[in-house]
Amino acid sequence: MNSASTLVLYTRHDAYIPRIAAIHDLCGYGKCSLGVAIPVLSAGGCDVCSVPTSLFSAHTGYKVFYRHDTTAMLEAYLDAWQQEDVDLDGVYSGFLGSAEQVATIKRLYAEYPHALKLVDPVMGDGGKIYPTYTPELCDAMRTLVHGADLLTPNMTEACILTDIAYPGTNPSDEKVAQICNALLKMGAKNVVLKGVIRGDGYIRDYLAGQDFELEEICSELLPFMLHGTGDLYASCCIAALMSGRDFRSAAEFAGNTVRKAMQITTKQPHYLDRGVSFELVLSELTSLVSAL
């Protein structure tokens, strides 16, 4: 039986810079989404091609925010890419603004069949779904699970996708395995179930794949939560994978980098509202490709 430490999703060739479509929202204020993905992936040696799914004045954790849905422009946006012969090595999707935007992602899958399919289903946290997600959008999101080379849900998102009741804190090993196996049966090739908390002072990520048994990564739980850590984790994990790291090494790198960023964040004003400050850990990302 293989392990996550033998699985390499992308082989980096010399100084080639892989190109990734990042399909996510853009917030003017708050540490999340494209505001995280662009600098993190860029520091990790990737060429980020943004596809903004919504424009927000601030993230949805704030009581007041303005949102502009970009669905109507996306087809023409991608038409222009086709006319310019844009090529892609990866398609990385995050927060979506409407059910129709799933078709945008599937269009990219069809036009770039060689590209890695990287899905971070940004749908909710703490057992609650985000207020902008409709039942139609949730149903559409489920169709992205099939064929995903990497799926990175938290427990809330995994339960929404699989229609399994949210187990709350301290889920059993059997429940974790059930949820991961359900995602694999839905067609995901590899899964990171992020941020499982058991109430014992540790936080766990679970790695699951079609070709290896379930694996656990365990680390110390920090005594606070921050907005944007899921976006930072997924972006760090993808950057590590695109540098040629194996699946387990990439997941460990992402968790360690997020933890360092969270510790730095506590020294910033309004950090509990604004979210995770990643700027001072970008050197961790550049180290991924410094030897190329």
Using one digit for the tens of pLDDT, what is the confidence trace for 144-202? 999 999 999 999 999 999 999 999 888 999 999 999 999 999 999 999 999 999 888 89
In Å, the largest CA–CA distance within the chain is 54
Please answer whether residues 101 and 71 qualify as being in contact, where contact means their C-beta atoms are separated by less than 8 angstroms. Answer: yes
Give residue-wise pLDDT tens across range 114-135. Answer: 999 999 999 999 999 988 899 9
Q: Give the Cα separation of 263 and 275 in Å (integer).
A: 12
Q: In sequence order, what are the beta bridge partners of 67?
A: 56
Q: Which of 94, 21, 22, 96 is nearest to 53 (CA)?
A: 96
DSSP string, 33-65: THHHHHHHHHHTT-EEEEEEEEEEEE-TTSSS-
Name the residue among 223, 264, 231 with its Cα closest to residue 30.
231
0.85 cut: is pTM over it?
yes
| CATH annotation of 17-289 | 3.40.1190.20
What residue spans define the domains of the chain? 17-289
pLDDT digits (tens, 9 = 90+) for 211-259: 999 999 999 999 999 999 999 999 999 999 999 999 999 999 999 999 9
Beta strand extents in the chain (DSSP E only): 19-29, 47-58, 67-69, 90-93, 116-119, 124-125, 128-129, 150-151, 190-197, 202-209, 212-220
